[in-house]
Structure formats: structure tokens, C-alpha cells
Structure 1
């Protein structure tokens, strides 16, 4: 691997594996709201929250952290306006104190907050507008959670850049350089001093929130149910700890996580199984870090073709990444890791994303189970072959097929999911 590509791989890990507190879509809304208030310079009387369908889908049911259990777009916007720190971006609500929580609820109950679906073809768009008397401010975020493309004060631009996404993409390392062969080579040869801080933060943060989820009754308690029902085998612990991290996140826990591909759930799904298997196998710290490199970069590679938000559940790609990292811990190389990824994708691809909520934890457990089955299939001399459904010859070609399925084939599915979720029921 040449030095330029090596540095690109380091940069991708550092760009993707960043801390966030709470589900990233409501936190992005809170960030936009906090930035709008900061731009306005005073507490607004009215807020308009205009968002794409996928934002509605991923904010509708999840509890916003540090709000005392409130959920939904109005709660996210209120929290950002009343108590958020825009300078902290995806940790915008991390500094909210117990004393400030009543102010968030009071703002929600005493001010006008209007939510509407944006007339846009964009999957990811947040248009947050606030008003106080004759003054107004606007913040527009497109394509990524912190990709602010426009800030206005009283109708005049304060900041503006191309909303096509190209400008933001150019600032980030090109993800198209990723491929499984080079990911494995990079993981095996990387100077860990270049990535250890990033990966250790992922270990520390994601383990802490999983432990929190196992200790308290968050969400549907999927992690706790798994341990109570199926025991403490390493296979079950891998699923239970990851599910518990999601239980806590979806239940409004205020602990941060280190995300992957813009998602805390995906960051948890990749890291916790690898961590638990490293403990079980008594792997040294170096092998744990190298396994996490493989897991994280594999998931990012898969998600690049799928897109940020879609009808394709991101836990599936994250589960494939986790299985790839665990395969490495068992001594697997390029061949074994590639077959594990293909087997995993053949099993669970097509699971739909119907928004962030308690059941995400169960989908995470299913995705990890598929990954472990995919790994053990190849260990037992079994595999799926080219022509078995969407599987084709070569891991990269199969990954391309998954991207096409999720990005193009499931586009109408995504619209129908949003339609179903927004239907008024008696």
C-alpha cells in the first residue's frame, strides 16, 4: 500500500469514528436548532422545522437525550434552542444539566414549533428557521449530519456553500479508495500510533453505553432478554452487548457513542462483538485494534454504496463488518474475511429500516447472528456461490450489488415506509 492510500485510510477512520450523544438524526435537528438560535442571538418565539421524510422516520419514535424522556422533532428542536451548545455539533446536548431540562419542556409547551415535511428529493435535509419579532435566522443542513450549507440572518446569507453535496464530499477523503483487499492489508500493517486514540475511544465509549443498557430498563431491554434467555456464551454476549448499547441510545441515555457511517447503532454493532470475541479469545490489544480497523472500514465500504439513509437497515452492513473483524481474530486473512462478508450479506440483506426506535436493538442482534453464521459457514467449508440470488463472483462485485439493491432497488420501499409511518390512525 503506497503512502498516499495509507494516509487516506487513516483519515477515513478519523473522519468517521467521531463521538455523538443520542440518535444522530434528532441530534442533527438539535444542532441545527442550536445554531439557528445562536445566529438569531436571542431566544426565538417561533420555530419552523422543515425536514425530509427520512429525518421524520428516524426522529419520530426515539427519545432525545437530556430532555427527561421527550421524543420527536419538536423535542429535538426545543432542546437545541433552549439548552444546546452549537459549537459541540453532534454532542450539542451533552452539556445539558438537570436544572436545564425543565426549561426545554417549558419551551416546547409555551412556544410555537411547526413541523412539516420538506418538498425535496433529498434523503437528508434539515431546514430550521427561527423568529423573534422582526428578526429571523435559518440553518440548512444537507446530506450529512453536520454539513451546514446555509446560514441566514434576517434573510441575508451569513454562510453559504453548494448544497449539491460535492463541496462537502471534497473536504472528506474519497471513500471509493476502500476495498476489502487493501482494508485487510492496511489493518495488518498499520502503525497503530496513527489510529489507536480513535479506536480506543470507540472501545471505551461503546463499552460504557452497552454496560449502561444491560444495567437499566431502557427500551425493550433486548440485551437483557438475550442474556436471560440464551446464557453467556460469547456468541450471545456479542449480540447482547451490542443490543444493550442500542437499547440505551434509543431510550435516551446521555452517554456518548463513537459512530460509524453517521450512525451510533452501526458503531455499536461493529465494535461490541469484536470486543467481546477479543476478550473470549484472549487476544492482545494489538489484535483487537487491528480487528476493529477491519470491522470499521468494511462497514464504511459497504455503506458508501448504500448511502447515508435508506430503506436498507444499516445494521446489516455493520454486522458484516463485525463478522469480518471477528474472522481476523480467529486468524482469518483476505480469503476468509471475503467469504464471511459475502455469506453475511446473502443472509440478511433486505431487512428494512423503519426509523430509529427500540426495535433497532433486535435488528442489531439479528445482524450480528447473520455475521457469525456467515463466518462459521466458511469455517465449516460451506459458502454461498455466484448466482445464489444477489451473490456474484468476487466480494467487491457482491458489495456493488448490495449498494445497487439498497440505493436504487429499495428507493420506493423507503417512500412506502415513510408513508405508512406518517398515516394518521384512529
Structure 2
């Protein structure tokens, strides 16, 4: 079962609101059957709610005697209003402006700042964070390569490497590893993931290709951690411009981070790192986000393949030029252009996607 209606039914029948985003983590087989039976009644109706708020959920429930209305705004756990039979049970003041910016002041973030800091930061300050990234995200990638999850794109790539159809190279191995993690995550695997910008898929995309690259190249632990630092901070920088919620695929933000980190680990200059990011953003910025599901793993593999291409081009001093579509005069303008595309240009795209999903 996938989709909005099953999610609503699952929450009603088996949800535990105290677990917040893990609200349906302990669903039993019996409850799954209850959900199926409930869905067969076809009493859940969904509609796209008009308005400018990027995340708005309104639930209206009636059993014939009582009527309940619940409203959620901006973030998935931010319940702002509950009414029962017209009586206010909860009313939370919600300043929309507070949700249109990042949780921290990220004005200092530029690619130059990230590059310079990655070169000089005391490794002991960041090592504990990235040790967790390596442990958690590697575990779910390994699980994704063993089990049957989603369309199994990660395992498919690995199987074709082993059979000789695909080349036994770092690029294919990195794509396999990263997409396997997403295969498992998007299919309900309960293993934890270290996120980036609030997203498990972005966290895995930004880390797993770099982990695999470092393993294959026998890089030191310090080199790996500095590479992960570049990847994750670049991802956050691009994603900050894209915004919290957009029809712009977050895996592409993370793929830009991968391109930056690969170039950095190859010994590339600051200018080359900028060129690698430019190459990938100029290539894949049209990829849409249409929800968290099995196809995310396929988008991740596409992003990883493109990240390697973007890196190799940059290392050979080949880069998309200013004026090539959304490519700006420098990397920061290009990233701002991507943000404008995501927040303004793709607003209609988001509405169309929602319309398709709620037909």
C-alpha cells in the first residue's frame, strides 16, 4: 500500500502521535489488514487545498455525530489547530515568516568558505559526527544490497558489475551503494539513517558515494571525513537556496555535494570544485520531486553518475559557461538561480504533481 489515502488510514488505525515522524513505525500485520479493509470502503477523499503555504494539511473527520478538524502548517509535525464540533481544542499562533527561512543563519555559507574550512578545520571537531554518518548509512546500504527492496536498482547495478555487463569501476560501485541505501529506506527498512537538510535520501546521497570512493581508493580516515564535510555542507548550501519544500529533487542538491567532494578528494582546486558543482546543476536541475518512494533510488543513481561526469569534466577544466541556461557568472549566482527556479519557477510544477497524485 502506498499513497495519501493509505497513509491517512494507517495513521488513524495504527498511529502513535507521540512518535511524531515515526508515527507508524510499530504497525502490526493485524493492523495492516484493518487498514486494507477500511480502504475498501472508499470513504477517504483527498483534494489539493489552494493557497501559498508550501506545506498545508487539513483533515476533516466525521462519524455522523462528531466532527473534527485538524490543521498542520509548514512542517509535518506542526499542528496549529484542532476543532471538535466547532469547539477549539488547540489553536497555535503560527508566524509564516518563521518557516520561510532556515533554522540557522547560513549566510556565511559559500563554496569558498566550505572549501577553505574543509582544508583547515580540526578533524577532531567533526570526526564524531561523520563516524555516525559512516556507520549508519553504510549499514542500510549493505542491507539494501542483500534484501528485496523497491525496484532493487542498487542490487541490479551490483549484479551487472559481477556479471560483466557493467564495468567494475568506482562510478558504478558508488551508484550501486548509494541507491541501495535508498531502495531500503524507501521500502520501509527500519535501520536508522543520518540525514542532511532533514532528508534521509539526501544524507545517503551525500555520504555513500564518498564512502565507497574512499574505500576503493584506500584513502585515510581523515581524507574521508574531510570529503564528507565538503559533500554535506555543499548539499546544505544548495538546499538552503532551494528551500525546505519544493518540486526540485533534493537528491540533485546532494549530487552537487558529491561532485564537490569528489573533486576535492582528487586534489582539485577551489575553481575546479566550483566547476564540478556548476556542471551538475546545469545538467540535472530539471529533476522533479514527486514524493518519497521507490523511484528516489533511481534518481539518486542518476545523480551519482552525473556527479562523476561533472567531476571529471571539472578536473580537465571543462565547465558549462555563463549563459548556458541557468548557469550564472559564478558559482554563487548559479546556486541562487537554482533557488529561484525551485522556489518560483517550480511552484506550478508542485501544484500539477499534487493534482496528479490526488486524481
Q: Report TM bin, short chain.
A: 0.7 to 0.9
Greater relative contact order (CA < 8 Å, ≥ 6 in sequence): 1
Secondary structure at the counterpart of residue 175 of structure 2: helix
After superposition, residues 394-413 of structure 1 pair within 5 angstroms as 394-413=330-349
Asked if residue 348 in structure 1 is aligned to residue 284 in structure 2, the reply is: yes
Partner Cα separation in structure 1 for residue 122 and residue 91 of structure 2: 39
Residue number among 313, 331, 343 corresponding to 1:377 in the alignment: 313
Aligned length: 350
The 1-side partners of 2:245 and 2:297 are apart by 18
Residue in structure 1 matching 2:111, options 180, 184, 196: 180
Q: Following the alignment from structure 1 to structure 2, what is the Cα–Cα distance between the partners of residues 283 and 140?
A: 50
Q: 1:139 to 1:326 in 2, by over 3 A?
A: farther
CA contact (8 A) 2:205 2:251 kept: yes
Deviation at 1:273, TM superposition (A): 0.6
Selected match of 1:91 from 12, 15, 22: 22
Q: Which residue among 129, 149, 166 is the counterpart of 1:198?
A: 129
Change in 2 beyond 3 A, CA 1:256/1:140: farther
TM-score with structure 1 setting the length: 0.74
Q: Which secondary structure does the structure 2 equivalent of 1:346 belong to?
A: helix
| Cα displacement string for residues 48-67 of structure 1 (whole angstroms, at most 9, x for unaligned residues) | xxxxxxxxxxxxxxxxxxxx
> Residues of 1 paired with 2:36 and 2:156: CA distance?
35
Aligned-residue offset at 1:398: 0.8
CA distance in 2, matches of 1:136, 1:220: 41
Cross-structure match for 1:101: 29
Find the counterpart in structure 2 of residue 59 from structure 1. Answer: none
Distance 1:206 1:357 in 2: 18
SS in 1 for 2:193: strand
Query: Which deviates more from structure 2 when the two are superposed, residues 402-411 or residues 83-92?
Result: 83-92
CA gap of 1:145–1:324, structure 2 versus 1, over 3 A, is farther
Mapped contact 2:256–2:277 kept (Cα < 8 A) = yes
Query: TM-score, with normalisation over the residues of structure 2?
Result: 0.86
Query: Contact 2:196 / 2:232 at 8 angstroms: preserved in 1?
Result: yes
Equivalent residue, structure 1, for 2:197: 261
Larger displacement relative to structure 2 (141-150 or 370-379) = 141-150
Change beyond 3 A, Cα 1:140–1:206 = farther
Cα shift at 1:395: 0.6
Shift of 1:138: 5.2
- Native 8 Å contact 2:195 2:204 kept in 1: yes
8 Å contact from structure 1 (residues 211, 241) kept in 2: yes
Name the counterpart of 1:325. 261
Aligned with 1:364 (options 276, 282, 300): 300
Instruction: Quickly say closer, same or farther: Cα 1:89–1:410, change in 2 above 3 A.
Output: same
Structure 1 residue 114, shift from structure 2 partner? 4.5
In the alignment, what sits opposite 1:218?
149
- 1:76-125 deviation line (CA, Å, top 9, x unaligned): 2333344434333323334x16xx33124315534864433323332212
Q: Which residue of 2 aligns with 1:162?
A: 94
1:280 to 213, 216, 229: 216
Q: Any stretches of 5+ residues in structure 1 without a counterpart?
A: 1-69
Establish whether residue 390 from structure 1 lines up as the match of residue 326 from structure 2: yes
Per-residue Cα deviation, 1:193-243 (whole angstroms, up to 9, x for no partner): 444443333222222222121112211111122223314311111111111
Whether the 8 Å CA contact 1:161–1:167 is kept in 2: the answer is: no
Q: Does 405-414 or 104-113 show the bigger shift?
A: 104-113
Separation in structure 2 between the aligned mates of residue 176 and residue 157 of structure 1, nearest angstrom = 39
Task: Compute the displacement of 1:127 (Å).
Answer: 2.7
Deviates more, 1:238-247 or 1:287-296: 287-296
